[in-house]
Amino acid sequence: MTIEFRDVTKQYPDGTVAVDKLNLTVEDGTITVFVGPSGCGKTTSLRMINRMVEPTGGQVLLDGKDVAEGDPALLRRGIGYVIQHAGLFPHRTVLDNIATVPLLSGWDKGKARKRAAELLEIIGLPAELGKRYPAQLSGGQQQRVGVARALAADSPVLLMDEPFSAVDPIVREDLQNELLRLQSQLGKTIVFVTHDIDEAVRLGDKVAVMRVGGKLAQYGTPADVLRHPVDDFVASFVGRDRGYRGLSFLSADGVEIKELDLVEIGAPAPASDGWRLGVNAEKQPRGWLPPNSTVDGALSETDLVAGGSLWVHGTPIRGALDAALSSPASLGVVVDEDHRVLGGVVARQVLDVIEATPQAS
């Protein structure tokens, strides 16, 4: 389902213009990210899609139909909506929270709860959490439930207003990965609001950069916005390190994976003059053992130091470079999709690949 903004304006009674003649089309089955500084109208623009905010000029169209022509309540039931802090009902169980919209749409309770249980599995939460209340969940779990609730009625459009900004960076990355995984399966039309250019670049098929006063500054692919900002405002907003962010679109073909010296948690770790990577029984990294470390008995996680970021093999080259640069051993850890160690990469060789690739210029 496409979403089209035609000369959409929102002006408040005091004269403040939140959105100024916005024109853009969100293509069917894609993620479009609205990004910009505070006061640029990105959240207002998103809320005009489901009429939580009414425009004072122009039209918002869903598949060519003006959203202003129908019942706002019916419109909202057909559009998924995810907000910061999840917005869950505190006195309803997780299953009942997810089942809210199907029940409002006339589903019987059994069918709605069955759908809610299916969605728990889809978003990667164990079934037993369905009986818990929101206060018994972590922040990341609550946000996943918020996404599940938005998906419950199987609407083609999903609106997400800074949904991951209230969680810590590690959980945030997990939630971003989960959203991309879900999108690859479901193919929703998603409008996502964030103030974080890295999040916008990572998630968006298209990025709409907005400036204060509600004007659209640039609309294009993440690569276009990073490599060809239209003016000084966009260049400043995406940052001086936009060349580094641009590595998110560069293949890692040619990066060599080196063998790492591994030592398993619970096993003896005799002295060595080199860095060794501590892993669990599933060969997942747990941290680094520094050179010449003395370990009494079996290795434990307390003997290890933090290991920097991980690069999932097959993902863009930015992850490989970041893993190599952030590692205390100057060796980036390469893992598969299940986070099992495949080997290591070194920054110099990654940089050689970047320099030899015409796309990096």
- Scored b (16 or more CB within 10 A) or e, 10-43 reads beeeeeeebbbebebebeeebbbbbbbeeebbbb
Q: What's the rounded Cα separation, in Å, for the pair 317 and 249?
A: 8
* Band (25; pLDDT cuts 50, 70, 90): very high
With 60 as the cut, is the pLDDT of residue 252 above it?
Answer: yes
Looking at 1.10.287.3510, 3.10.580.10, 3.20.20.140, 2.40.50.140, the CATH number of the domain 262-360 comes to 3.10.580.10
73-130 pLDDT tens trace: 889 888 989 887 778 889 999 999 999 888 887 888 888 888 899 888 888 888 899 9
Q: Mean pLDDT throughout 297-310? A: 88
Q: What's the rounded Cα separation, in Å, for the pair 82 and 289?
A: 42
* Band (359; pLDDT cuts 50, 70, 90): low
Q: What's the rounded Cα separation, in Å, for the pair 70 and 66?
A: 8
Chain centroid to CA 168: 13
Q: Mean pLDDT throughout 278-303? A: 91
Q: Mean pLDDT throughout 249-277? A: 91
Which residues of the chain are in CATH 3.40.50.300 domains? 3-238
Domain 3-238, CATH 3.30.710.10 — does that match? no
Q: What is the pLDDT of residue 361?
A: 41
* Band (263; pLDDT cuts 50, 70, 90): very high
Which residues of the chain are in CATH 3.10.580.10 domains? 262-360
CA angle 183, 188, 189 (to 5 degrees): 120
Q: Which of 122, 184, 119, 181 is nearest to 152 (CA)?
A: 119
Residue 277 CB coordination number (10 Å)? 23
With 80 as the cut, is the pLDDT of residue 161 above it?
Answer: yes
